[in-house]
Each structure stands twice: as C-alpha cells, then as structure tokens.
Amino acid sequence: FADRDGVIWLDGELVPWRDAKVHVLTHTLHYGMGVFEGVRAYHTESHDTAIFRLQAHTDRLFRSAHIMNMKMPWDKDTINEAHRLVVRENSLKEAYLRPMVFYGAEGMGLRADNLNVHAIVAAWEWPSYMSPEAKEIGIKVRTSSYTRHHVNISMCKAKANGHYINSMLALQEALSCGCEEALLLDNEGYVAEGSGENFFLVYNGVIYTPELTSCLDGITRATVIQLAEEFGYTIKEKRITRDEVYVADEAFFTGTAAEVLPIRELDGRVIGEGKRGPVTTQLQTAYFDSVKGRGSKHPEWLAPVSE
Ligand code: PMP
C-alpha cells in the first residue's frame, strides 16, 4: 500500500506517496495516542466529485484532538482544503480519505513533553467495504466476546487510534467464526455498536438506536436519523438488549465505510425476513441519493473538490 504513485498531504505539503514516511520511534506508533477520521468522496450528479459531510468530519477530528489534549497546529479550513487537494491531485473520482493527527518522534516515553503534532490527509479508491451483494442481502453478525470501551477507560467521543485495538479484536473474532461483522456490547451488556459502525433496529415501525454513551457519534448515524425524521419515522435512542435484536423486524449498521448495511442474522438467529427490510431499503436509498447528490434535498452535505 505504501509503494504506489500519488501524493499525500503531510504537514502542509503534498509529498510523493512513497516518501510520506515517519520514524520507527514515532510516539503514536508506540502508545496509540492519535486521532483520525474516515471520510468519503463520491462522484455526484450536481458536482463532479464532492466530499460527503466534510465539515462534520473535520469538526469531529478537532473535537477528538481536543479530548486527547493534542494541540492542532492547523485550522479547520486548512484541513478541509487538504482533503480537496488530495482528491484532485490524485485524480480520484470517488475516494476514501484518511486524515490522521499524531505525535512525532521528537521524544519517547509517556512523559515526553516535547512532542510535535503532525497531520496527514491521504486519499485512495476503496469502492466497497464488504462484498457488493452485502448491501442487498445483508450480513451475518456475531455478538462479540469483547466489550466496547467504557466511557472512563478511553474517551468514546474521540475517534482515537488506540481505540481500534478493541475493534480489530472483535472483528477478527467475528470473521474467524464465519460472520462478517461483530456487534459489541457495552460494559453493562447493552448493544453499543459494530467494530466500525453504529447500530439501528426497526420494530413495529419505530427505529431504535443505542444512546451515544459508549459508541462513536457517527456522522452516518446523524445523517440517517435526519433522513428518517424527514420521512416521518419515530426514532428512539434507548438501551437495546441482544434479544431485542433477535426479534427485531429489521436491523442495520451505518458508517462512512459501511454506508447503510442491512444485518440479516445475529448469533445464528435470522432477523425479520432474513434480508434487507423495507425501512432499511428506504433509508439506504435516501442515503445513496444524498451522497451522490441525486435530488437536491441536502446540497449542504456536499463539499465539491473542484477549485
Ligand atoms: N463507530 C465506530 C467505532 C467507528 O469506527 C465508526 C466509523 N468512523 C462509526 C461508528 C461510524 O461513524 P461514521 O458514520 O461517522 O463513519
């Protein structure tokens, strides 16, 4: 992945892909204290290529840095512009973007007090997070044996590098059991989220999602809630048990990478009809219409990359 053409924005400059390197004593590599985002750009009907909800992602990146007490040496406009630049300069029509903020190799140890904050924004083509059919037929999920972060162990509002040890352990376990994603419970045993997605279920026409206490404040989650409200659905944030998921009419994940992804099975129990349900279909269609700029309901969500 490191050996390819292209450019990456690194600390204010566009650097050839192969030269965008750090030292092995990079602090964040050792202790995981860093923050990042996952962002997508789509080829839209209204503009050529536009980054979906760029400002919301940049706002969350800065909130994550603030929580981790990392002093950002750039302002939001500079980071936004870096996103547009890497999509344009790499001639990408659609892209996954990865801004990341990390401590450098200026010092070592937990007590290092001379660390500089660095940032990258990279962009590449990453068409589908799962198999293309998954969006239609849904995925098989397993409740994880790994508990989601507790609010006072790691700060759940931050999208921090080190948090993803938990996600990877859960995902590896789910994959090794023949499932496609994990469902993590919080430390009290209630449904929290997937390894990289927020969770929703539909029961008797009402949409439920866990409160944000121990899950990430997902931008796709907020988008889907807004779209569902516009359709007139009632959305309730509440504690959800795993057996409520077993008997749900529909369930789905949301995330920038996963988009709106139906869940057809949890722990071997078929959910609803065992395929994408009507509410999921409606919200998934509305989500894809929004990211691709079809119709003009939310042009404010699209940040065109053109100059
Ligand atoms: N939860 C976790 C743990 C995630 O990593 C992600 C992906 N960023 C999400 C939820 C979904 O967030 P978003 O919709 O902002 O991508």
The answer to whether residues 250 and 174 belong to one domain is yes
The answer to whether residues 154 and 264 belong to one domain is yes
The total of structural domains in the chain comes to 2
CB 216 near ligand 1, within 6 Å: yes
Q: Which residues of 119-156 are buried (b: 16+ CB within 10 A; e: fewer)?
A: bbbbbbeeeebeeeebbeebbbbbbbebbbbeeeebeb
In this predicted structure, the answer to whether residue 297 has a pLDDT above a threshold of 80 is yes
**What's the CATH code of the domain at 216?**
3.20.10.10
- Provide φ and ψ at 160, rounded to 5°: -110, 145
Q: What is the pLDDT of residue 47?
A: 67
The answer to whether residues 159 and 260 belong to one domain is yes
Task: Give residue 123 CA to ligand 1 midpoint distance, Å.
Answer: 18
Catalytic residue numbers, as ranges: 159
Question: What would the two tokens of residue 217 be?
Answer: 């404040």
Would you say the C-alpha torsion 175, 176, 178, 183 has a positive or negative sign? negative
In a domain, 301, yes or no: no
CB 140 near ligand 1, within 6 Å: no
In this predicted structure, the answer to whether residue 285 has a pLDDT above a threshold of 90 is yes
The answer to whether residues 221 and 179 belong to one domain is yes
pLDDT digits (tens, 9 = 90+) for 49-88: 999 999 999 999 999 999 999 999 999 999 999 999 999 9
Please state the rounded mean pLDDT for residues 158-170: 98
Neighbours of 187 (CB within 10 A): 14
The answer to whether residues 141 and 283 belong to one domain is yes
CB 158 near ligand 1, within 6 Å: no
Please state the rounded mean pLDDT for residues 137-163: 96
Check if the interface score ipTM surpasses 0.90: yes
The answer to whether residues 60 and 88 belong to one domain is yes
The answer to whether residues 149 and 274 belong to one domain is yes
In a domain, 55, yes or no: yes
Task: Give residue 213 CA to ligand 1 midpoint distance, Å.
Answer: 14
Mutational test site, ligand 1, from 159, 165, 226, max ligand atoms within 8 Å of CB: 159
The answer to whether residues 197 and 74 belong to one domain is no
Task: Give residue 193 CA to ligand 1 midpoint distance, Å.
Answer: 9
In ligand 1, which atom is closest to the CA atom of 195?
3
- Provide φ and ψ at 47, rounded to 5°: -125, 170
Q: What is the pLDDT of residue 162?
A: 97
- When the pLDDT of each residue in the chain is averaged and rounded to a whole number, the result is 96
* Domain of residue 31, residue span: 7-124
**What's the CATH code of the domain at 100?**
3.30.470.10
